[in-house]
Amino acid sequence: MRRCRIRALCLSAAFFLCALIFSVPAYAEQATVTGDKVNVREGPGADRPVTGSLKYGAAVDIIDRSNPDWFLVSWDGGSGYVFSLYLHTDSPDAPESEAEHLIPQAPAAGYITGMHVSLRGGPGTGYPILGTYSNGKALTITGSFGPWKAVTVEGKEGYVYESYVREGLYESAVAAARAAGAEPGKDIAAYALSFVGTPYTWGGNSPATGFDCAGFVQYIFSQYGYTTSRIANDIRRDGEPVEPEDLQPGDVLCFYSGSQYVGHVGIYVGDGTFVHAANSISGVVTTSLTSGYYATRGYEIRRIV
């Protein structure tokens, strides 16, 4: 009787192991961590407990990307969930749904609305980059594939994510803004100040979820039709460099976190003050640039508008 019970337990364990093995995807994409000290979490969400962190450049395997915001990854020594924007992979995205396909349209003039926007060989971030373009670059829109626009830039046919494309002529949009006497920098600074008191959330990029520093900058500029990078260290390459004596409201401050790595960003609002998503204790606050901690911290300035 005892021997039968042991045999039954062994069979149950074997069935369990088989089920576990076949429940894991048949492939694992390799990816590289693109942030500094990126948190690994117990589950898919910024509210889940942190179980560790990964350094910039660390290699991981993506085990599950069914949640578009949080990927389950593994590496030598552990596994857990990482915010997807902090992972880069060169392999093609998972196959699109059969319901999604290229929808052609009559060719229409358009332009790039972000900085360092990639033209890809297919509708996904895993496809090869055919070129990189910035705000105002002219293109022709020829169709849509899900959230991707089929475009032609400088004779190259490819795809650009829809958030980075606008239909029309860039010169006309700029002329209309100038004719209206717009001062986008001051408007952006004033708008950013309206979010003082919003909670800080790692990985957050909207008022509904809270903000981290780069998510705050990205959200504010997106409301005015501009696109900035999602990671602080990448924002240092957005827009144009500005000398300290030319600092104006609406400029982005990129603070160094040791050496030349930018680990924090905020928006200058004038009078020696900037607004930023500071930390989980303070949330979005205004801080002096001329006294206190940030007066001694090195930074560079980027002008997006």
State which amino acid sits at residue 48: R
Range of the domain at 56: 17-88
* Interatomic CA distance for residues 302 and 60, integer angstroms: 32
* Interatomic CA distance for residues 208 and 178, integer angstroms: 32
Q: Given this model, what pLDDT does residue 285 score?
A: 92
Pick from 29, 53, 88: which residue ends a domain? 88
Q: Is 264 a catalytic residue?
A: yes
Pick from 88, 112, 144: which residue ends a domain? 88
Burial of 9 (0-12, 13-18, 19+ CB in 10 A): exposed
- Does any domain span residue 148? yes
Q: Given this model, what pLDDT does residue 28 score?
A: 58
For residues 224 and 295, membership in a common domain is answered with yes
- Does any domain span residue 6? no
For residues 204 and 294, membership in a common domain is answered with yes
For residues 78 and 145, membership in a common domain is answered with no
Q: Output the tens digit of pLDDT for each of the chain's 305 residues.
A: 544 444 544 444 444 444 433 334 434 578 888 666 778 888 887 767 888 888 877 888 888 877 777 889 998 878 899 887 677 775 544 444 433 578 889 999 998 876 567 898 888 777 788 988 876 788 999 999 888 899 999 999 999 988 788 888 877 766 665 565 557 788 889 888 888 888 999 988 888 888 999 999 999 998 887 889 999 999 999 988 999 999 999 999 999 987 788 999 999 999 899 999 999 888 999 999 988 888 888 999 999 98
For residues 245 and 206, membership in a common domain is answered with yes
- Does any domain span residue 136? yes
Judge whether 268 and 253 are in contact, CB under 8 Å: yes
Give, in degrees to the nearest 5, the angle at Cα 273 between 272 and 279: 145
For residues 53 and 154, membership in a common domain is answered with no
For residues 22 and 126, membership in a common domain is answered with no
Task: Name the active-site residue from 4, 18, 88, 264.
Answer: 264
Residue 225 per-residue DSSP state: T
Supply the CATH number for residue 278's domain: 3.90.1720.10
- Does any domain span residue 98? no
Judge whether 122 and 90 are in contact, CB under 8 Å: no
* Interatomic CA distance for residues 294 and 251, integer angstroms: 16
Crossing angle between the packed helical segments 184-193 and 213-222, to the nearest 10 degrees = 130
Q: Is 254 a catalytic residue?
A: no
For residues 238 and 153, membership in a common domain is answered with no
Judge whether 144 and 132 are in contact, CB under 8 Å: no
- Does any domain span residue 3? no
Task: Name the active-site residue from 10, 88, 116, 213.
Answer: 213
List 279's β-bridge partners, or say none: 283
For residues 116 and 149, membership in a common domain is answered with yes
Q: Is 101 a catalytic residue?
A: no
- Among candidates 122, 112, 133, which has minimal Cα distance to 159? 122
For residues 61 and 28, membership in a common domain is answered with yes
- Does any domain span residue 130? yes
Pick from 145, 172, 199: which residue ends a domain? 172
List 156's β-bridge partners, or say none: 153
Judge whether 283 and 294 are in contact, CB under 8 Å: no
Domain count, the chain: 3
For residues 279 and 224, membership in a common domain is answered with yes
Supply the CATH number for residue 140's domain: 2.30.30.40
For residues 214 and 289, membership in a common domain is answered with yes
48's CB contacts (< 8 A; 6+ apart) are 41, 42, 81
Question: What is this structure's pTM?
Answer: 0.48
- Does any domain span residue 79? yes
- Among candidates 133, 109, 110, 107, which has minimal Cα distance to 120? 133
Judge whether 106 and 161 are in contact, CB under 8 Å: no
For residues 211 and 260, membership in a common domain is answered with yes
- Does any domain span residue 58? yes
